[in-house]
Chains A and B, each alone.
Chain A
Amino acid sequence: MRRLAIIGALSACLLGGVPFEAAADEKTEKALEERINRLEKMVEELTRRETKEAKEEGKEKAPAYTFGTTGGGKSIYAKPFVSSPKATVGGYMDLQYRLFNSSNSTGVGQPGTGAGSSSFDQQRFVPFFYSDITDRLKVASELEIEHGIRSKSNDGSGIEVSLEFATIDYLLREPINFRTGIILLPVGKFNLLHDSPLNDLSDRPLVATAIIPSTLSEAGAGFYGTFYPTRLSKLDYELYVTQGFSGYSTVNGVPNTPVITADNGLRAARQRVSTVDDGLDNNNGKAVVGRVAFSPILGVEIGGSGYFGSYDPASKRPLSIWAADWTFQRGPFELIGEAAWVYARDNNRNLDGTFAFDANGRPLPRRMDGFYVQGNYHFMPQFLRRRAPTYFTEASTFTAVVRWDDTNTNSELAATARQRLTLGLNFRPIEDTVFKADYQFNFEDGKNNRIRNDGLVLSVATYF
């Protein structure tokens, strides 16, 4: 208030000090106008600062939405304290303890326990950077450091550090926006929401590591947007042209070795792990990938997505992935899931046309498929809130989870099928931090006792 009084006095002096004769003068008028504008800006700036200071001191609370007696309902139209910073740096990390019956694999791309059957694993440390360059121009990125405790990876080439996504968005209109960079591919929904703190179980679904090898991202460009077809419905889409899979790599000095196998699914064919120079393409063919998600009402969403590209050096062999995903939420209940199908034409043949087999003598896969269905129930016992209100706040919640996974990384064989039943319970003190406890029953080819690899996973994950 003191500052405002000073400014008021200052402006009165300035205005009062102008000679009357000069008022008629156009130049003086202009100068006066400029001064007034400057003063107005200063007053605005001071008011803003004082409000901010008051807020920080807790003197003034942000107004709840109300219509004042004057009617205008200004609180919804103003942007109280919506002062977004130009750039945000943050990240997420997780840590898990795994206790299994054995060190046997629990699935393609699933975390292991090393040489023993139990292990602490700091799997992901992911700093991210977001920048509002202008109202229309945004840069977003996530830098993943996997198993960051190591100074060397298994092959001695260094630790796994890579950009999960790094995009430049140019916003045109709500229904159409341009995006380019390293893009998180919209194949299924899980790949788009793969961050550990978002997920209610510690391990990713089998279909999201073997069939859709998340985190799946490729360099490319395209468009995305949102439509609102009816009052309550929403339709999101993404459509990009990207680099494409590289189905053949140099392995142990042998060029053109097929890397789409039942043991690895599509993981070793991703651009992120491609051995082609600088992760560049192994052919001239580019891929097209897109997803459409329709939400008729809040809490219901059905998504369909597809990926189509070529994976061989001559761009003669197409690879397609089709996926469907669903989310149903009602009250504390949630049912989510995803199904995916892969077709890699002629992957069962070498580039010279002879039949191709893996190290176990099995033909290489042409088709893969899988799905998961997960039920969540969110709850918070009221007695906990009453007894320890600082630990169990309004933002805290428990979630009970059950998930069934089913995949086959070579649909033409039964031996490559895997299933998993996971039971879990997690606690979120706040939405962005989660403590999880899961128990996995792992099945190979429908049998739970073939490989003893059931186990307990305890983990914590948080955004910061």
Chain B
Amino acid sequence: MLRCRAFCELVVTTHRLLAMFTCLLLAGCTTLAGKPTATSPCPFEQVWDTAIVALEGVRLQAADKAAGVVETNWVDVESTTQAGALQRDVNKERVKYVVEVKRVGTGAAATVLQLREIWSPMGVKMNQWRAVPGNPREEAAVAAEIARRLKEKGC
């Protein structure tokens, strides 16, 4: 009887853990709602091409047209923080852009997400890049650039 109860508890616990893990995993698949978006009456193909061209100069890690997702490699940028009490310029930062292009009616919309990570040689922080929030101004600037280029195309 006790064994059966222990087994049942184990099954319930396992299911709870699995459910929690699934929820966490799905949380990572959330959309980019609320991020800066360039909406255009231009057809999907044109917005897709423009999004790629707007990211010129950065090596792309993935460009999945079927899924409508362009992802760049990590790019080192100037650090916004200084290290330690001496405020030394030894920290590093890197960013990666994800642009999601979706069909909206006859047109399309390109949504921009910036992933940002920082690294510091200070103590145990030297062992890992840490994720920090992306810069909303920079995200908006990329979206604005895509919109500008689309506008130039006159659609």
Contacts and interface: CB of A to CB of B under 8 A. Distances in A.
B30 A464 contact: no
Contact of B86 (A85, A395, A464): A464
B85 A77 contact: no
A76 B28 contact: no
Contact of A92 (B75, B88, B123): B123
A184 B24 contact: no
A130 B121 contact: yes
B28 A79 contact: no
B58 A77 contact: yes
A306 to B, nearest CB: 15
B141 interface: yes
Contact of A195 (B55, B124, B141): B124
Interface stretch (B4-12, B38-46, B101-109, B126-134): B126-134
Interface string B123-155: 111111101110101100110110011000000
Interface string A427-459: 000111100000000000000000000000000
Interface in A211-232: 226, 229-232
A193 interface: yes
A64 B78 CA distance: 9
Contact of A430 (B24, B87, B113, B138): B87
A297 B30 contact: yes
B78 A231 contact: no
Nearest to A191: B124
Contacts of B137: 64-65
Interface stretch (A32-40, A67-75, A99-107, A260-268): A67-75
Given A142-B124, A463-B83, A76 B145 contact: no
A57 B33 CA distance: 43
A194 B121 contact: no
A271 B19 CA distance: 39
A79 B77 contact: yes
B106 to A, nearest CB: 26
Contact of A67 (B32, B92, B132, B141): B141
B124 A194 contact: yes
Interface residues on A, range: 35 or more
Contacts of A194: 124
A296 B89 contact: no
Q: Which of A84, A90, A302 has the most CB of B within 10 A?
A: A90
B76 to A, nearest CB: 5
A232 B30 contact: yes
Contacts of B52: none
A140 B32 CA distance: 37
Q: Which of A72, A77, A431, A432 has the most CB of B within 10 A?
A: A432
B83 A90 contact: yes
Contacts of B124: 142, 165, 184, 192-195, 198
Interface in B14-65: 24-30, 32, 54-58
B145 A73 contact: yes
B44 to A, nearest CB: 19
B129 A65 contact: no
Contacts of A65: 77, 135, 137-138, 141
B30 A67 contact: no
A290 B97 CA distance: 31
Given A66-B141, A298-B131, A90 B27 contact: no
A128 B25 contact: no
A126 B57 contact: no
A73 B90 CA distance: 25
Interface in A154-182: 165, 167
B141 A296 contact: no
Contacts of A130: 121, 126
A58 B127 CA distance: 33
A195 B25 contact: no
B95 A76 contact: yes
B134 to A, nearest CB: 9
A462 interface: yes
B78 A80 contact: yes
A197 interface: yes
Contacts of A66: 141
A335 interface: no
B84 A462 contact: yes
Interface of A: 62, 64-67, 71-74, 76-77, 79-82, 84-85, 88, 90-92, 126, 128, 130, 140, 142, 165, 167, 184, 192-195, 197-198, 226, 229-234, 236, 294-298, 300, 302, 395, 430-433, 462-464
24 contacts: A62-B78, A65-B138, A71-B54, A71-B145, A73-B57, A73-B145, A76-B58, A82-B79, A82-B92, A88-B90, A90-B83, A90-B122, A91-B123, A126-B123, A128-B122, A140-B127, A229-B28, A230-B28, A296-B26, A298-B133, A430-B82, A432-B84, A433-B85, A463-B122
